[in-house]
Every structure is written in structure tokens, then in C-alpha cells.
A and B are shown apart, each in its own frame.
Chain A
Amino acid sequence: MAPVRFTVSKEDWSLHRKGYQDQQRHRDKVREAIRKNLPDLITEESIIMTDGRQIVKVPIRSLDEYRFRFNYEKQAHGGTGDGNAKPGDVLGRDGEPAQGPGTGPGAGDQPGIDYYEADVSVEDIEEVLFKDLELPELKPKDEFETEVTDIRFNDVRKKGLSSNIDKKRTILETLKRNAMHGKPGMHHISPDDLRYKTWEEIEEPRSNAVVLAMMDTSGSMGVFEKYVARTFFFWTVRFLRTKYQKVDIVFIAHHTEAKIVSETEFFTKGESGGTICSSAYQLALDLVDHEYPVKRWNIYPIHFSDGDNLSSDNERCVQLVNELMDKCNIFGYGEVNQYQRTSTLMSAYRHIHNPKFRAVLIREKGDVYKALTTFFSPAADQQAS
């Protein structure tokens, strides 16, 4: 028999990128699925109820590879024991009852890992969600507060800090000088050859903006209404902090009277009592007059309510909203109204025909997404929709 030969080789595989390319394609599809599911995803309780840093498992159906297969749960499977396994032994439990479509036995102590769920981090969702959001009608204001954001190496000089030596240019200088002296080659770097990189600071002017987040915390705001309002503001806060270097956010909670509260209070506190929305608008106007002058600030008052206002107050509300609109970029009004009743406040607002006035009626959780895109999109989009 002729000897069977073999070779052992080690090649350069660095150009073999196929796995990564298809991984990227898969990632793109996950992102696409996130985009399609955004209205549901952003109201996912597990995101809103945590610090927002957690990774959530979201069943994204379009990424499953469907085929005819057996029902894993209605089938007996083989396993190997340590010698003592006998009928009745419990191998594992389903942790919690299935949380939604596509939630099958996952990792952990449950057998069968072939179900796939996309791990979606809050960052993944933000990346997609925030892409199309922006503060509408943002205008440069008279007084810029310039800010240094970065440095940029953009010049080469003969003097500088030795940690900033530009090696390539230094060597080029040496080669050039040696060649000029008829001794080509790389030898003897003279102090004259040294080149240094220098930098400049990039300064970006920014427009100041403030969002006045107003939320009705009266007794009529039920669990659902508050959840929706807070979900909206949760994303608003994250969006502003991610996309803009510095935007002020003032949290205003109101029932019959309004007060400025801390971020934590705003997101956690429960209140009760009647509703006088104008209290919040008045507070907002006072803030604009005293702390956020129109000359220097882009101003965005946004109010969430269930629309259940003291009837006699409605007229005053309309008047204050108009006053606010004179000074602000837009005015956002979100009404959480599951039962489609005609609310007194919305009826009053129906007569406002100012392009700055943006209202959204929210019937179900998924509408939070609608609210975000309505309030935070450029004017052109508004007219189109």
C-alpha cells in the first residue's frame, strides 16, 4: 500500500470574513425586526421597570428558521443518569410561564435550546428608535454657549511635545536630508528632522434647549395612564441625553396644583386629587419667563394627561397653551384615553389651529411610539402624516 500522505499547514485567514459578513446580515435583520416591533418593544415592561441597562430577551419571530419539526414538549427524549436515575425524577422546571409568543424552553435548567430569541439590549432599541427622532424646530439662539468637544491633530510642526513626535514624517525628513547629502539611506536622525504633530480643539456651538415634562398625577390617572405617560418620558429622557450634549429637563407633576419634582419623584410618585391642568401651564410659563428666556432657549413643553380636567379650567388652559406657543418651539399634548370617551380637554383643544400644537391620542401601549415620533420629528413630517 502506498503510504498515505498528509500535510499540515497554517495559512493567513485574515481575509476570510464570510462568517462575520453573514453575522452582520443577521444583525441587520434583527435591527429590522426591532424597527418593525418598536411600538411593542418600547413599552416592554421589563425595560421600563428596570434601570434600563438590562438586556431583555425579545422574541423576534422573523428571525426564527421555520421548518417542519416535532413538538419538543410532547416528545420523550433520551438522557444519561449517574446510575440512580429512576422514573419520577425531576430534571428541570420551566421557570416562569411562557411570557409571550416564541418563548419556549430556553437555556438554564430546561432542556432543548433550539428556540431562538434575540437578545436585545436597550442600546439596540435606542439605536433604532432614536435614529429618526429629533427636537423639532431647533433654532440657534443669540447667546451660544460654546463647548469643547474633542481635539483633532491637524498640523505638523518642527517644535512640539516629544510624546507627539510624528515618526513617519521624521523618518521621511531624515531620508530626504541624507539623500540630498548624497548618502541615501536611513541613518542618523538629526534634531532638525524631528516633526511634531499638533492639535486643535474642536468647538461646537450648541443651541440651548429645555423640555418641560408635565404629567397629570391626579386620581383619575389610573395605572395604565401613568404607565403610558412614564414610558413616554422614560424614552424622552434617554433620547435627549443620548442625542444632545446638554438639554435641560424640568419635571412638573400636577393635580390641582403643579410643582417641580425630581426625576425620581416624577417617575415613581403616585398622587391623587382633582385636576387643574392650567396649574402646570402657568408654572411652565413662569419658568420660561424667569429661567429659560426665549432669547436663549429652545423650549418644549410636553404635557401628558387623561384629559379629565376641571371643566371650568379648560378655557384658561387654551389661553395658556396659546401663550406658551408664542414662546415655545412646539407644544406637545398626549392624551391617554383607553376608552375613547370624549375628553373635555381635547374638545377644548380641538379649536387650536397652530402648527406648533401637536397632539396625540393614546389608546394602547403601542401608541407611545406614535407620541414619540409625533413630538420629536421635524415639521415637514408632521404635515405629511
Chain B
Amino acid sequence: MNREEIRRLEQAIEQMMDLARGFGLDFYEMRFEICPADIVYTFGAYGMPTRFSHWSFGKAFHRMKTQYDFGLSRIYELVINSDPCYAFLLDGNSLLQNKLVAAHVLAHCDFFKNNAHFAHTSRFMVESMASSAERIRSYELQYGKDVVEQFLDAALAIQEHVDPSVTFRRRPRDWEERREKGQQTEKPGSPYDDLWALDQPPSAAKQTEMAIPRKVPPEPEKDLVLFLIEHSRVLEDWQRDILSVLRDEMLYFWPQIETKIMNEGWATYWHLRIMREMDLTSDEAVDFSHMHSGVVLPSKTSINPYYVGLAIWEDIEKRWNDPPEEARRRFGARPGQGRAKMFEVRETETDTSFLRNYLTKELVEELNLYLYQKMGNEWRVVETDWEKVRDTLCAARVNGGFPVILVQDGDYLQNGELYLTHRYEGVELDVKYVEKTLPYVYRLWGRPVHLETVLDSRAILFSYDGKKNHRKFL
């Protein structure tokens, strides 16, 4: 973009911000950066401009850039959940494209700022990722590039296994608190209480203390990364630090993973509304609709979040603007509440509840959503029943789409071995990947590791003992 185009983009953004505020959107200060494609793709691959280095990011970058070079796909924009909010626009975009992107980005920023699940994400992640990257870089100098890389390989293999619900719980964790409470009940109520029990057998309080499980963890824990940080006996300080860095970064990205459909639908909804209010020349209007239809192109083999998300948001608006007679009669629904309802939904939901609550029968049919599955060597449509479609889409979004792995026992067989279970909910794990990932967990834990899951409706235990994989049906 040349200087003149940038000047015109600035004018447009000024106007769009006014419009957006008029609609009720609420965002942080914005920093728009115009970058060449390879920079935008670097940020896309790393998730953040300042993140640490690892070959897997290079691989992602290479793939994205190749697809861009061959014209197969392109990201138009990248926006970062931070305050002020950074948005990266593509230098190669036309003025109109960047206008659309700016409108889209404003809505993303509004979403970051107002959706409850983002409330606890660090708004300074750009800076803290930069300093983490710097530390990891210094570990490379100190311990050797290969050593750090090998550790990162292992750590990245389990990075999804965090528990966002314990993010802000301060330690001691609740079972430790309970143990403390258990001890508290022993405390005498008055200075003379201990006298009364002198002639009785050892106190009940003592027994409860005995009954407090020695097992670690006493109850299954979802946060494998945190468990390793706290309980692994082989990790050095710098390794614990890297695990903590990854965990913080994953927790920062987590709400984005959980609100993909909502957030993209929201941004698409608003770029349409904002752009409609702009004075576009007829050429620009044609370009715009061309670009917009590219964004919301439905896919036969996946759920395009822009497309499905937009449809759900527009449906919410329509239904709450013009509630059906029954809702008016029974619940006193008033017409014209579409926008208000939308703002309420954007504050509270994540994809699972968004789909669960607002993907209606009519929508599933109208969008012709279906489920498909592999049958023999063909991929076939297997289901169009709306409830089954909705339920499966919801299930696929649970836990960000990652399997839930629970830490059962950190001292399995009284031998310090690690016993994990997969919370099986009808979908099997990729066996090859299990057997390739367990050695990584072993590297972090230092003792044999086990994972219990279900294969062909039978419970199975995968184990890795440091040399070989074993599996046995339970």
C-alpha cells in the first residue's frame, strides 16, 4: 500500500470506528500494522509475533506461505488479543480489502474485550511472550540448542493438556486445602477440650487424618502440564520454566480455541454491517461482495466458522427481533431485542454452548449441515438428523477438540510410574500417535508412563517403559 492508500485507509478506519461504536461495539485502542505477506504468515504460524523459536513453527510457516504463493489460500489479517490491540494487515491487499479486514478486526477486538472467557487472559502477552522467548534463547546458549529443542519437542507434544478452570485458583489446590481443613478439625475448640477425650480410644479426628488419601493426585487431574511441573522428579529448573511458559501460552490461546465459530461469525457479521454503511463505489461494492463470499464459502468437508457462525448470529438476531407468538405469550418476549440478545450471547458463551443453544433445527436444515464418516475407503454422509448433527458438532468442540487426558496416579505400582486415563466419550484415540507421544511423556516424567483408553469397545492400557511400547487389554 502506498502512502496515499494508507491515508485513505486511515480515514476509512476513523469512520468505521465511529460506526462500530454506534452499533455498540466496544474495543481497545487499535494498532494497525501493514506488513508484507511473509511477516503476516510468520505471525500466523507462531500465533504471536514475539513467540519463541521452534522448527514446528517453521514448518507451519512454510506450509502457509507455500499455499499463499500458489494462491491456494490466504490469511487477510491477523489480530492479537492484547491491549492495545494489534492487527496486522497484508501489504498486498487492495485498499478495499484492508478496509474490510479493519472492520472485521474491530469486531474481533470487541469480542476479546467482552467475552467472559477472555476476561482472565493476559493483555500483555505480546511482551511476556517476548521475554519468554528471550529466556528460552538463553537456555539454548547455556544448555545447547539441541538439548533445548528436544525438550521443546516433548513439551509441545502435551501442551494442550492444561486445565483452564484452575488457571486462577491459587495454590494450595483444593485437595491440599481439604487436607489442611482435615487437620483443623483436630484443633481443640477451647483450651480444656483435650481433657474430655483422655479416657477414650485414639480420636476420630486422628482417623480422618489417616483416611486422607496419600495418593497423588487424590483425585484425577486434567492439567497434565501443571502436574509435571509440580511433581516430576527429573525436570531441571529451566525445564520447569519452559513447561510453565508453554502452559501460560496455551491458557492464553485457550479461549480463542474455544470460541472459533462464535468469534469468526461475530467478526463477519459486523464487517458486513459496517461495510454496508460505508460509501462504496460500485466497483468497490462488487469487490467487496466477491471477497465476502470467499470468506463465507461453505465447505463439504468441514465447518467454515465464518459461514456457520454468521448464520447463527443472524438467526439469533432475527428470532429475538421477531419472537414467535408463543414466546411472546408464554415468556413475555418483546420484539426488537435482536441486538441486545446478541451482545448478551457474545459475553457469555463458548462454541459448545453457542452451538448447543442456538443451532436450531431450521438452521441445520437451511445450511444443509450433515455428518460424514469413513465407510470402507469412502467418505460418506451418514447423518442429517438435526439433533445428532448438533450434538456431534458440540462434542467435537468440547475441550477445544482435544482428547481429555487425566492424571490418575503419580505413584503407580508404588514405583513412581505415571498412570493416565483418556476420558473416552465414543471416539478412539489415534493409536500410532499414542505410541509416539508416550515416549515424550516419559522424557518429562522420567519413569514408565501408562495411558488407559478404549479400543474397539475394550479398555486397553498403553505403556512405555523407556525402551519399548507395550499394550494390553484390561
Determine if A72 is an interface residue (Cβ-Cβ < 8 Å).
yes
Determine if A77 is an interface residue (Cβ-Cβ < 8 Å).
yes
Determine if A340 is an interface residue (Cβ-Cβ < 8 Å).
no
Given contacts A23-B58, A86-B381, contact A79 B300 (CB under 8 A): yes
Residues of A within 8 A of B300 (CB): 79-81, 85, 91
**A-contact bits for B7-31, CB 8 A (1 contact / 0 none):** 0011001100100010000011111
B323 to chain A, nearest CB (A): 27
Is B372 a contact partner of A80 (Cβ separation < 8 A)?
Answer: no
Is B368 a contact partner of A80 (Cβ separation < 8 A)?
Answer: yes
Determine if B168 is an interface residue (Cβ-Cβ < 8 Å).
no
Residues of B within 8 A of A90 (CB): 378-381
Q: Which B residue sits closest to A81, measured CB to CB? A: B368
A347 to chain B, nearest CB (A): 41
Q: How far is the CA of A67 from the CA of B250 in the complex (A)?
A: 14
Residues of B within 8 A of A74 (CB): 374, 427-428
Residues of B within 8 A of A11 (CB): 33, 35
Q: How far is the CA of A86 from the CA of B382 in the complex (A)?
A: 8
Given contacts A26-B55, A66-B440, A80-B298, contact A71 B428 (CB under 8 A): yes
B314 to chain A, nearest CB (A): 16
Is A111 a contact partner of B58 (Cβ separation < 8 A)?
Answer: no
Q: How far is the CA of A10 from the CA of B98 in the complex (A)?
A: 13
Is B58 a contact partner of A94 (Cβ separation < 8 A)?
Answer: no
Q: How far is the CA of A7 from the CA of B393 in the complex (A)?
A: 39
Is B381 a contact partner of A8 (Cβ separation < 8 A)?
Answer: no
A residues 79-99 in Cβ contact with B at 8 Å: 79-94, 97
Is A71 a contact partner of B427 (Cβ separation < 8 A)?
Answer: yes
Is A80 a contact partner of B369 (Cβ separation < 8 A)?
Answer: yes
B25 to chain A, nearest CB (A): 10
Residues of A within 8 A of B396 (CB): 77-78
Q: How far is the CA of A77 from the CA of B301 in the complex (A)?
A: 8
Is B29 a contact partner of A65 (Cβ separation < 8 A)?
Answer: no
Is B301 a contact partner of A22 (Cβ separation < 8 A)?
Answer: no
A221 to chain B, nearest CB (A): 37
Q: How far is the CA of A89 from the CA of B300 in the complex (A)?
A: 11
Q: How far is the CA of A349 from the CA of B392 in the complex (A)?
A: 69
Given contacts A4-B30, A71-B431, A75-B373, contact A22 B58 (CB under 8 A): yes
Determine if B158 is an interface residue (Cβ-Cβ < 8 Å).
yes
Is B161 a contact partner of A68 (Cβ separation < 8 A)?
Answer: yes
Given contacts A66-B433, A70-B403, contact A87 B381 (CB under 8 A): yes
Q: How far is the CA of A179 from the CA of B123 in the complex (A)?
A: 60
Determine if B437 is an interface residue (Cβ-Cβ < 8 Å).
yes
Determine if A18 is an interface residue (Cβ-Cβ < 8 Å).
yes
Is A7 a contact partner of B427 (Cβ separation < 8 A)?
Answer: no
Residues of A within 8 A of B27 (CB): 4
B residues 369-388 in Cβ contact with A at 8 Å: 369-374, 377-384
Is A8 a contact partner of B10 (Cβ separation < 8 A)?
Answer: yes
Is B59 a contact partner of A67 (Cβ separation < 8 A)?
Answer: no
Partner of A85 from B157, B381, B392, B451 at Cβ < 8 Å: B381
Partner of A66 from B36, B405, B437 at Cβ < 8 Å: B437
Q: Which B residue sits closest to A70, measured CB to CB? A: B427
Q: How far is the CA of A20 from the CA of B430 in the complex (A)?
A: 31
Determine if A110 is an interface residue (Cβ-Cβ < 8 Å).
yes
Is B370 a contact partner of A67 (Cβ separation < 8 A)?
Answer: no
Kindly name the residue among A19, A26, A72, A85 whose own CB sees the greatest number of chain B CB atoms within 10 A. Answer: A19
Q: How far is the CA of A97 from the CA of B376 in the complex (A)?
A: 11
Determine if B235 is an interface residue (Cβ-Cβ < 8 Å).
no
Is B32 a contact partner of A9 (Cβ separation < 8 A)?
Answer: yes
Q: How far is the CA of A5 from the CA of B27 in the complex (A)?
A: 10
Is B402 a contact partner of A68 (Cβ separation < 8 A)?
Answer: yes
Determine if A153 is an interface residue (Cβ-Cβ < 8 Å).
no
Is B35 a contact partner of A79 (Cβ separation < 8 A)?
Answer: no
Partner of A93 from B56, B156, B377 at Cβ < 8 Å: B377
Residues of B within 8 A of A86 (CB): 370, 381, 384
Q: How far is the CA of A351 from the CA of B400 in the complex (A)?
A: 69
Is A69 a contact partner of B368 (Cβ separation < 8 A)?
Answer: no
Residues of B within 8 A of A64 (CB): 436
Q: Which B residue sits closest to A67, measured CB to CB? A: B157
Is A93 a contact partner of B379 (Cβ separation < 8 A)?
Answer: yes
**B-contact bits for A1-43, CB 8 A (1 contact / 0 none):** 1001111111101001011111111110100000000000000
Determine if A291 is an interface residue (Cβ-Cβ < 8 Å).
no
A334 to chain B, nearest CB (A): 36
Given contacts A19-B38, A68-B422, A111-B379, contact A77 B308 (CB under 8 A): no
Partner of A79 from B36, B156, B372, B378 at Cβ < 8 Å: B372
Determine if B1 is an interface residue (Cβ-Cβ < 8 Å).
yes
Given contacts A11-B33, A22-B61, A69-B429, contact A80 B308 (CB under 8 A): yes
Kindly name the residue among A24, A64, A65 whose own CB sees the greatest number of chain B CB atoms within 10 A. Answer: A65
Partner of B53 from A21, A65, A77, A94 at Cβ < 8 Å: A21
Interface residues of B (CB under 8 A from A): 1, 6, 9-10, 13-14, 17, 21, 27-36, 38-39, 41-42, 45-46, 53-59, 61-62, 65, 91, 156-161, 298-304, 307-308, 367-374, 377-384, 389, 392-393, 396, 402-403, 405, 422, 427-434, 436-437, 440, 451
Lowest 3 A-B CB distances belong to which pairs?
A: A22-B58, A19-B42, A81-B368
Question: What are 30 A-B pairs with beta-carbon distances under 8 A?
Answer: A6-B14, A6-B32, A13-B36, A18-B46, A18-B53, A20-B58, A21-B53, A22-B55, A22-B58, A25-B53, A25-B55, A27-B58, A63-B59, A67-B159, A67-B160, A69-B402, A70-B428, A71-B427, A71-B428, A74-B374, A76-B372, A78-B393, A79-B371, A80-B369, A81-B300, A86-B384, A87-B381, A90-B378, A91-B379, A93-B379
Interface residues of A (CB under 8 A from B): 1, 4-11, 13, 16, 18-27, 29, 61, 63-94, 97, 101, 110-112, 116
Given contacts A68-B433, A76-B392, 19 further A-B contacts (CB under 8 A): A4-B30, A5-B29, A5-B30, A19-B58, A21-B58, A25-B58, A26-B59, A64-B436, A67-B433, A71-B428, A74-B374, A77-B301, A78-B303, A80-B303, A81-B369, A81-B370, A87-B384, A88-B380, A116-B59
